[in-house]
Structure 1
Amino acid sequence: MQAISSLSLLSYVEGLPTERDRALFGICLYTTARVNEACSLHTADVYRADGRVRDRITFRRATTKGKQETRSVPVSPELRELLAEYRSDRPYLFPGRWGRGHICPESADAILRAAFKRLGIEGASTHSFRRTAITWMHNERVPIKHIQSISGHKSLSALQRYIDVTEKDKEMAISTLSFRS
């Protein structure tokens, strides 16, 4: 599992064949949602009764890992665009086959892997969106407790395992060490 470069991400999102797929993986990327959390969303968790995108997406406690608490995540302008292009008239935002239940995470994974293969992106998975978003926020100096609140991690140690550190990051860290007056 790896974080994905911003260029690869743009190619990927633009390369997805349907608005549904772009909305599904947009939710994973822009909210740090696990794929099963995104697949389980109800339409009312994302859209108002008048069809407009809500300001926050609600991930219900029953669908989160550990099923301990409901999480609410703000909708970014880029995610709002993706969601505005997609509409579901079913109770679940991403309906399963024949309109019953929701799309299963395994189907979402197959969609993702096919798109990655078409684009020549290797080593990525559905969880790469989560890792990418967490690493990106960390690199942009978002406080770790804020990231934890968004991602729903119960412990900082679990969250920190998601943060990728590159060789360039290490070089920049070392370059800050100057003890001469």
Structure 2
Amino acid sequence: MHALKDLATLTSLAEACGKVHQSYSDFVMLCALLASRGSEIAGLQVGDVDWDQRIVTIRRQTFPGSGGLVTKQTKGREIRHVPILQHLEPVLQRLAVGRAPEERLLTGPRGGVLTTATVRDATKWDALVSQLGMPNLTRHGLRHTGATWLADAGIPLHVLQGILGHKSLETTRGYLHPDTRHLADAAAQANAFLSGQDAKGTERPAQGSRSPSLSR
């Protein structure tokens, strides 16, 4: 599962979706920075945002069913708490402050439920992410992104398990995409060092006074 490499990339994606409508930008930021499923974002209510404890409580999910929209417990059937990250604060404040607790936190352009399928169709998602250089990213990949960043930040695995709502640690491990950029930096540093050695080696014959055959 593809995960975004950094916050700047996430912001670029959110801004691109926001050109269609602000709600699609908010969807991207909420999914990633709450490490949550699209259906869980659709199920959030204003009252689920707790500014005193600085957490968002994931209680329910809303998704299209055979007879229309369905709202039920989360996939793991457990309530879980996700910390409010600094970069998500402006989004949550805009969506929650001054509104009734029972109101849906995020709605679509016409005030209806915003599902992952709606986001896909409205933003032309597959074409959009390809244009932005992230062709393998799905909407669910935003949840993977949040999980990866929390793990890379050093969040203990058992805490991350609770944030993601997994029954087992093995499932949580399957969501992680460890940051290997430090390996690329190490390779670049080593390559620069070795290239410097090559350059010095190439220069030696020209810098020498004479070749062995001429010195005899």
Give the structure-1-normalised TM-score.
0.75
Shift of 1:118: 4.5
Q: 3-state SS of the aligned residue for 2:82?
A: strand
AA matched with 2:10: L
- Structure 2 Cα separation of the partners of residues 132 and 8 of structure 1: 11
Contact 2:80 2:163 in 1 (8 A): yes
Determine if the alignment matches structure 1 residue 161 to structure 2 residue 170.
no
Match of 2:188 in 1: none
Match of 2:146 in 1: 133
Equivalent position to 1:29, from 29, 32, 39: 32
Classify 1:45/1:13 alpha carbon distance in 2 versus 1 (closer, same or farther; 3 Å). same
AA matched with 1:95: T
Q: 3-state SS of the aligned residue for 2:135?
A: coil
Classify 1:118/1:79 alpha carbon distance in 2 versus 1 (closer, same or farther; 3 Å). same
Determine if the alignment matches structure 1 residue 93 to structure 2 residue 93.
no
Q: 3-state SS of the aligned residue for 2:11?
A: helix
- Structure 2 Cα separation of the partners of residues 96 and 81 of structure 1: 18
Identical amino acids, percent of aligned pairs: 26
Task: Show structure 1 runs of 5+ residues with no match.
Answer: 173-181
Give the structure-2-normalised TM-score.
0.64
Q: Which has the higher contact order (CA 8 A, sep 6+)?
A: 1
Match of 1:64 in 2: 74
- Structure 1 Cα separation of the partners of residues 86 and 152 of structure 2: 20
Determine if the alignment matches structure 1 residue 122 to structure 2 residue 135.
yes
Contact 1:32 1:130 in 2 (8 A): yes
- Structure 2 Cα separation of the partners of residues 43 and 120 of structure 1: 34
Task: Show structure 2 runs of 5+ residues with no match.
Answer: 61-71, 186-216
Shift of 1:20: 2.0
Greater fraction of residues in strand: 2
Task: Write the deviation string for residues 59-108 of structure 1: whole angstroms up to 9, x where unpaired.
Answer: 11534113x211121211211112223467782222357545x2223113
Match of 1:42 in 2: 45
Shift of 1:2: 0.4
Residues paired across the two proteins, number? 166
